[in-house]
Amino acid sequence: MNIQRKELLQRSFPYLYVLLCIVVIAYFDLSGRVDYATKSLLKIGLFGVLPYMLLNRPKFKTMLGVNRSTRRILFVGIVMILVIVAGYFATKLFISYDLVVASLENRLNVTLDNFLFVSLYIVLINSGLEEFFFRHFIPLQLDLSSQWTNRLVSSLLFAIYHVAILYGMFELCVVLLMIVGLWIVGVFFSLLNQNNKGFLNSYLFHACANIGINLVGLLLFLG
């Protein structure tokens, strides 16, 4: 019986750990009880350091190896920056962005004073953390029936993780559309890495997308 419990615990651990990470980060995003730097350090530990140890310290050269498609993906990512900013100007006529700045300041502890630090962290570190966690660690740990099942489940978790961040920024219907969009984006990010063992391609594209989002955030702060 003890052996069976141990095996069950081992099989359940990846699911429990992923759930714990999402719940903990969501709690701090929703409560606003800690400053952004503290929450970032916690996330580095939960999404980066501990998963890296659980994977027995894989080589960074393998995880971040450049391949033939990397340069093309980087170019498309730069175009994506322009698309995101253009999308903001195209949608601000019928989507209310009034709550975004208030939510950033009051709940996520992001202000114009720390915006540069937050932006650099999001682009350089947070993008890599999320890609490592959702596109590399989770698929390897869950090891579901097929590659596509892994891709769909990890992308769904990626979308669910963002619920706490988007909550309160937009109307409910807009948030739901964004969650569906993030699920699709997560699958797309996963496909970017399908020809190599690492996650550099999706990391670069994710970083470019975050640059575009940060530029929109700056425009909102500046009014």
pLDDT, position 2: 61
Residue 193, helix vs strand vs coil: coil
In this prediction, residue 9 carries a pLDDT of 63
Sketch the domain layout of the chain as residue ranges: 2-222
Per-residue pLDDT at 141: 82
Query: Can you tell me whether residue 22 is helix, strand or coil?
Result: helix
The structure tokens listed for 61 are: 């050269």
Distance (Å, whole) CA 47 – CA 60: 16
Spell out a b/e string for 44-82, using b for 16 or more CB atoms within 10 Å of the CB, else e. Answer: eebbbeebbeeeeeeeeeebbeeeebbeebeeebeebbe
**In contact, 107 and 36? CB cutoff 8 Å:** no
Q: What is the pLDDT of residue 108?
A: 85
Residue where the block lists tokens 């996963």: 190
Encoded amino acid at 44, one letter = I
Tens-binned pLDDT, residue by residue, of the chain (223 aa): 466 666 666 677 888 888 899 899 888 888 877 888 888 999 999 999 999 998 888 888 888 888 788 888 999 999 999 999 999 999 888 877 888 888 888 888 899 999 999 999 999 999 999 999 999 998 888 767 788 888 999 999 999 999 888 887 888 888 899 999 999 999 999 999 887 778 999 999 999 999 999 999 999 999 7
Distance (Å, rounded) from C-alpha 95 to C-alpha 106? 21
- CA angle (178, 183, 185) in 5-degree steps: 90
> Percent helix, strand and coil across the chain, each rounded to 5?
80, 0, 20
What was the pLDDT predicted at 122? 96
